[in-house]
Structure 1
Amino acid sequence: MKKVSLIFPVYNVAFCVENSLLSALSQTYENIEYVIIDDRGEDDSMKIVYRSCNNYPQKNIKIIDHGVNKGLGATRNTGIKYASGDYILFMDSDDILEKTAIQQFIDSLDDDYDMVVGSYVRKVQTKEYPLHLKNEVLDREILYHYLVGKKYYPQVWNKLYKLSFIKENSLSFIEKCNHEDNPFTFYFSACNPKVRILATITYQWIFRTESVTSVYREKNVEDLLSGYKFMCDVARKFSISDLYVIRYLNNFRLFPLWLLLKRIVISKQENTLLMGLMEPVSSFESINQLRMPFKEKLKFMIFYLPFSLKKMILKIISCTQNV
């Protein structure tokens, strides 16, 4: 029986952690190792966690104390470090895992997959928005299927990962970063894993309007810049110069650019952030050799101009953009 390590971070979630954790502890699949990381919040989250775990003495539960708050990326890296299962599954501590979720993931392992992706429902107050993926197997051009085909989503929760694949490829999360999912999934996909996708809903994403992904501040722009640079480094590492990757990276950095240029986010280090976000995705020669209309090439060529000039041009363009 395959062993699954369920990685469960805890930080200031006293208002919802009990229901979330109980949905994990009540899974119908038995061979689960629960890796709970205390990321040193300031509320009673961990008291609730200990109380809930005491009701399941038969479960294999590890509670790791971070000592100090390190953020979600570091928490997930800690989970990977302490996991001993054949597979790992990340879960956010304010979401709900369907009772048969892990059993359905395991039942889908009819071959040697590096990742199994489940469908989910996004819950916003009283409304539900299900995302049903297509039942299929992806075994080549995975980055293309992810970026262009939109075959699966960037969030790392609700996915069963083969732990050996993560370790063999030295995969980890950017630490002290609130937007670590996109870079991780980009890197994972660039390693060309074998992927199984399920149409069955296995997860409830409880969307909260006060979450870090729904309210943007200076820290968010800094983190998006870190993600952009990380993915550019991955593209260089694997010598990826495909047009669809260049387009994705170029588009990824436009959102934080508009936030700054439209003054939605005001930062004392605006020019430093802008300089990082305005770095060219690839060399001028590489862009020039790509087969695309000249009008589209201009979108990339802007970023080779002197800083003050491209800032002025992009500021004018930003006035036409919705954020």
Structure 2
Amino acid sequence: MPLVSINIPVYKCENYILRCLESVKNQTYKNLEIILVNDATPDNSIEIIEKFISENPDLNIQLLHHEKNSGLSVVRNTGIDNSSGKYIYMLDSDDYISNDCIEKLVELAEKENTDIVVGETICLDSTDGQEKLLFPIRAEEKAYEGNDFIFERFIAGDWPIIAPNKLYNREWILKNELKFIPGLYSQDELWAFHCAFKINKIAFLKEVTYIYYLHGASTIYNKTKVNFENHQTIVEWFIKAYQETNSKRKQLIKKKLIGFKETTLQMQWKSMRDDVPYWKQNYARLKKAPKLSLSDYFSSEFTTDQKKRNLFLNLPTELGFRLFKWRYERKF
């Protein structure tokens, strides 16, 4: 039974952390180390954790402390650096996992000899109590092998980008020097992209192992200007990768950029529709990223839908805004 390091960030989670820890305690797989990283949380989370530790002396728990709040990317890196398991599993403190989560993921990882195993995630909406499949696995096979094919399927959206609910081979992370980029709030997007550049084998467990708890403080509901500045930074990293890779991957990154830019503009409009000048500013900034060339429009490599969406993303800014607003308000 290989050791699994479960990494849990701690910041303003006093209402959820006990449920999270109890779900780890109840795992059918017992060879675990629990690494909690306190990112200078101002609430009572640490008191709750310390009480849990004292009541469960048989559990292998590390509680690490940051002297100042450093953000989730730095917390994730601290967790990775302090992990000693064969595998690393990331679990957010407001979420929880099924009792057999780790057992089933490890079984598949060992059987397939993978870099990553992805579990199915269900979202529990606190507003209405409904369960929703917001981040589905779309892979048609149980496992993918070969980095070129895996990167292509990543761009196609065959699995969710969220960092949690994946079992990572720690040696693979270290060998490829994979790190979360400090300062990013939307760190999962870039982490998933960098991972996809390096994965040689990935497997999928199409059983629910993770419950993503949607509540009023969830990031998905609280996008601000900081988040959208982060999205611009992520695009800069995509551009860097585009400039350094081969022609085939350049085409795939163009596809990624079409979807990412479109999603960014839609989320910004939903969250900050009163700030039209800022929306226009970001539309203009996003146009600087690689886009489809004239020859791409005559190529079968891109779908008609991708060609149309690329066009809408690269119009003169005022025209782009008017068409976006018309299309968005018709759709939603």
After TM superposition, the score normalised by the length of structure 2 is 0.85
Percent same amino acid at aligned positions?
A: 22
Query: Given the superposition, is the C-alpha separation of residues 151 and 18 from structure 1 closer, same or farther in structure 2, using an over 3 Å criterion?
Result: same
Partner deviation per Cα, 1:41-91 (whole Å, 9 max, x = no partner): 211011111111112212221111111111111110111111111110000
d(CA) in 1 for partners of 2:209, 2:76: 20
Q: What are the residue-to-residue correspondences of 1:85-164 with 2, within 5 Å?
A: 85-108=85-108, 109-125=110-126, 126-130=129-133, 131=136, 136-140=142-146, 141-148=149-156, 150-164=157-171
d(CA) in 1 for partners of 2:9, 2:232: 24
Q: Say which SS state the counterpart of residue 156 (structure 1) adopts.
A: coil
Q: Which amino acid is 2:265 matched to? A: L
Does 2:324 match 1:318? yes
Cα shift at 1:310? 2.4
d(CA) in 1 for partners of 2:43, 2:195: 34
What are the ranges of 5 or more consecutive residues in structure 1 without an aligned counterpart? none
Q: What are the residue-to-residue correspondences of 1:1-323 with 2, within 5 Å?
A: 1-108=1-108, 109-125=110-126, 126-130=129-133, 131=136, 136-140=142-146, 141-148=149-156, 150-239=157-246, 240-241=248-249, 243-258=251-266, 264=273, 266=275, 273-281=282-290, 291=300, 292=302, 300=310, 310-322=316-328
Q: Which amino acid is 1:227 matched to? A: I
d(CA) in 1 for partners of 2:276, 2:57: 49
Aligned length: 318
Partner deviation per Cα, 1:16-56 (whole Å, 9 max, x = no partner): 11111121133221221111100012110111111111122
Partner deviation per Cα, 1:119-170 (whole Å, 9 max, x = no partner): 122111311124576660111311222222x331111111100111112112
Query: Given the superposition, is the C-alpha separation of residues 290 and 50 from structure 1 closer, same or farther in structure 2, using an over 3 Å criterion?
Result: farther
Q: Which amino acid is 1:114 matched to? A: D
Query: Given the superposition, is the C-alpha separation of residues 276 and 120 from structure 1 closer, same or farther in structure 2, using an over 3 Å criterion?
Result: same
d(CA) in 2 for partners of 1:297, 1:152: 23
Tell me which protein shows more helix as a share of its residues. 2
Are 1:250 and 1:281, in contact at CA under 8 Å, matched by a contact in 2?
no
Cα shift at 1:231? 2.6
- Of residues 209-218 and 67-76 in structure 1, the stretch that sits farther from structure 2 once superposed is 209-218
Q: Say which SS state the counterpart of residue 219 (structure 1) adopts.
A: helix
d(CA) in 1 for partners of 2:265, 2:229: 11
Cα shift at 1:191? 1.5
Cα shift at 1:266? 2.7
Cα shift at 1:195? 0.7
Query: Given the superposition, is the C-alpha separation of residues 103 and 294 from structure 1 closer, same or farther in structure 2, using an over 3 Å criterion?
Result: closer
Cα shift at 1:269? 6.5
Are 2:254 and 2:292, in contact at CA under 8 Å, matched by a contact in 1?
no
Partner deviation per Cα, 1:98-136 (whole Å, 9 max, x = no partner): 111111111112132000111122111311124576660
Are 2:33 and 2:61, in contact at CA under 8 Å, matched by a contact in 1?
yes
d(CA) in 2 for partners of 1:237, 1:195: 24
Q: Which amino acid is 1:119 matched to? A: E
d(CA) in 2 for partners of 1:121, 1:288: 38
Cα shift at 1:251? 2.1
Q: Say which SS state the counterpart of residue 104 (structure 2) adopts.
A: helix
Query: What value does the CA root-mean-square deviation take over the aligned residues?
Result: 2.8
d(CA) in 1 for partners of 2:20, 2:267: 33
d(CA) in 1 for partners of 2:88, 2:274: 36
After TM superposition, the score normalised by the length of structure 1 is 0.87
